[in-house]
Structure 1
Amino acid sequence: MPPDLIAALDIGGTKIAGALVDGGGKLVARARRATPAQEDGPTVLRAVTAVLRELAAGEHWSRAAAVGIGSAGPVDASTGTVSPVNIPGWRGFPLVEGVRETTGALPVTLVGDGVAMAAAEHWQGAARGRTNALCMVVSTGVGGGLVLDGRLHPGPTGNAGHIGHISVDLDGDPCPCGGRGCVERIASGPHIARRALAAGWRPGPDGDASAAAVAASARAGDPVAAASFARAAQALAAGIAATANLVEIEVAVVGGGVAGAGEVLFGPLRRALADYATLSFVRDLTVLPATMGGDAGLIGAAAAAAQQARLPGFATG
């Protein structure tokens, strides 16, 4: 059988997932290891290699035509290196070179995890059929990726669309990226919880002080919890509108743990977006929840690799 699968990797601070993905986005084989995030670089690479070797030992590996990697970032696709914030042992680490030691001559595509999520949502999810889209992950951080003119737009280094570091408050809190008032400093889960606590919100008897607990309180009518989510929604709306003004996206897809709050987030987000996206060419911009779930990183890494390699049988846009 001719090669008709993509070997995909989804690398984050807690897990390294691998899969073989077919032209319809189906995962025909899986492998997974915990990320030894606090270990040195070679140790983390050995976990990646273990995932690849498990896939390679299966019956479908001979059908692999390319490798796609979606990694926590920053990444640099131009050099094949990664420097994930949550994996300290990888700083300028030659990940693509390390992967090639196992996968041989297969072409390898590296993108950031937000770009991978965008690729997945455009190929099989909420942005399917859309020509121009921003897809976002709102979780412990805020990332994203762009689809422009019907194709994934990763940029030269694989990071394009990183909306989390658009500044929406020039006098806001300093961000580790060097900026101030970044979307991530306002809209990420930890900052939603921090802001609610500072304003007087208190966790329930179980002591859960996460953004999910704040969302539950907001749902129950707590005004402080609701206000913290409204502030996050305002920051997201400002970033989305700025992106729309630049590149005329028609839809923004929002996923990640914070998006699990549902209407606690999406209600104020849509209202705030109506205040920010006011120019005639962005007024019809819509916001949708992501639909691809936990496999988005794998499916998106496969889609990015298929687009880069122009593989027949993968209609990824």
Structure 2
Amino acid sequence: MLAVDVGGTKIAAALVAEDGRILRGSSVPTPGGRDADLVADAVVRAVADLDAAGGVAAVGIGSAGPLDVVAGTVSPVNIPAWRGYPIVATLRAAVPGVPVALAGDGQCMALGEYWRGEGEVRALLGMVVSTGVGGGVVLDGRVQTGPTGSAGHIGHITVDPDGPRCPCGGRGCVEVYASGPSMVRWAREQGWTPGSGADGAGLATDARAGDPVARAAFERGARAVAAAIVCAAALVELDEVVLGGGVVNGAADLLLDPIRAGMAAIAGLEFIRRVRVRASTLGAEAGLLGAAALGLEAATREHHAVVA
């Protein structure tokens, strides 16, 4: 399988075996500016060497959103050059003759964790906590995309109807409390003076050093994440929640225990209280593995259709 992960800073690709082993990988920076073709050329470069020998059975794409899986288009907020860009058609042209499948990057992270993570579960929520907060839900082996591919937007669950406005237009979304930039912004508003850097990494360093405002920023974000997980678990009856993304990768020690404590404080029903919460063990590979799993599913469907 050929897996592609499109992000705002880099475009990663990998050749993945059917058992989930990453055989080879490549990565190129995501071009800035508003030239859509430059970004498309970067995607093609990332996959060209991997497909040089042929033999790819399918292509799976995970992309930042919004996206439309029916139209095969993406409009990533962090890639201004692409608005309604036909990424599926671009990769069909670059890797002809094989099925191409598309899903959101958070959905692919969840699917990757379901496929190659720790243990077997029926219902899994993956959460990406980074410059934004995204996610995906996998039930019985299938990632839930919804009619257009927008399902799983856990970052835009409202956890406080009277909370601040979110860039999405909503109010009190998880993202305005728990994303890296949101935590940094709130800490600055509360008087935090960076001692180790003015970004999320610096905030984490100061929190570990005992800065009360920095610690409060992480605890505030953790409570929002906990509330969202409780809501999702009540609706779907989750077995496990896996947290990934830059903020979690750099500050799991500051988030996991407060998230678990926040859930324990507000969850009443036993099936919600039993949900396991852990950090990703796959890191950046989770999204690529999920994209590969998408491609594998698409190849299987096409094979069955031909046989039938």
TM-score by length of 2: 0.94
Assess if the C-alpha contact under 8 Å between 1:115 and 1:159 holds in 2: no
| One-letter code aligned to 2:86 | P
Structure 2 unaligned blocks of 5 or more: 303-308
What are the within-5 Å matches in structure 2 for residues 87-98 of structure 1? 87-98=79-90
| One-letter code aligned to 1:37 | G
Query: Which residue matches 1:54?
Result: 49
Picking from 217, 220, 233, the partner of 1:244 is 233
Query: Which residue matches 2:18?
Result: 23
Assess if the C-alpha contact under 8 Å between 1:13 and 1:35 holds in 2: yes
Q: What is the CA RMSD across the aligned residues, in angstroms?
A: 1.5
1:252 is paired with a residue whose SS is strand
The alpha carbon displacement at 1:31 in A equals 2.1
| One-letter code aligned to 1:310 | T
**Alpha-carbon distance between aligned partners in 2 of 1:102 and 1:261, rounded to the nearest angstrom:** 38
What are the within-5 Å matches in structure 2 for residues 109-258 of structure 1? 109-126=101-118, 128-204=119-195, 208-258=197-247
The alpha carbon displacement at 1:159 in A equals 2.8
**Alpha-carbon distance between aligned partners in 2 of 1:239 and 1:54, rounded to the nearest angstrom:** 41
**Alpha-carbon distance between aligned partners in 2 of 1:118 and 1:137, rounded to the nearest angstrom:** 9
Picking from 2, 23, 40, the partner of 1:7 is 2
The alpha carbon displacement at 1:215 in A equals 1.5
Assess if the C-alpha contact under 8 Å between 1:37 and 1:86 holds in 2: no
**Alpha-carbon distance between aligned partners in 2 of 1:281 and 1:50, rounded to the nearest angstrom:** 47
Task: Give runs of ≥4 in structure 1 deviating > 4 Å.
Answer: none
What do residues 40-61 of structure 1 show as CA deviations (whole Å, max 9, x unaligned)? 112211111112222222x3xx
2:58 is paired with a residue whose SS is strand
Assess if the C-alpha contact under 8 Å between 1:139 and 1:189 holds in 2: yes
Aligned residues: 301
Picking from 6, 11, 33, the partner of 1:38 is 33
TM-score by length of 1: 0.91
**Alpha-carbon distance between aligned partners in 1 of 2:142 and 2:86, rounded to the nearest angstrom:** 27
Structure 1 unaligned blocks of 5 or more: 1-5, 313-317
The alpha carbon displacement at 1:18 in A equals 1.0
Q: Which moved more, 1:30-39 or 1:238-247?
A: 30-39
Query: Which residue matches 2:72?
Result: 80
The percent identity for this pair of structures is 52
Picking from 69, 72, 91, the partner of 1:99 is 91
Assess if the C-alpha contact under 8 Å between 2:30 and 2:39 holds in 1: yes
Query: Which residue matches 2:270?
Result: 280
1:39 is paired with a residue whose SS is coil
Assess if the C-alpha contact under 8 Å between 1:19 and 1:29 holds in 2: yes
The alpha carbon displacement at 1:311 in A equals 7.0
The alpha carbon displacement at 1:297 in A equals 1.7
Query: Which residue matches 2:305?
Result: none
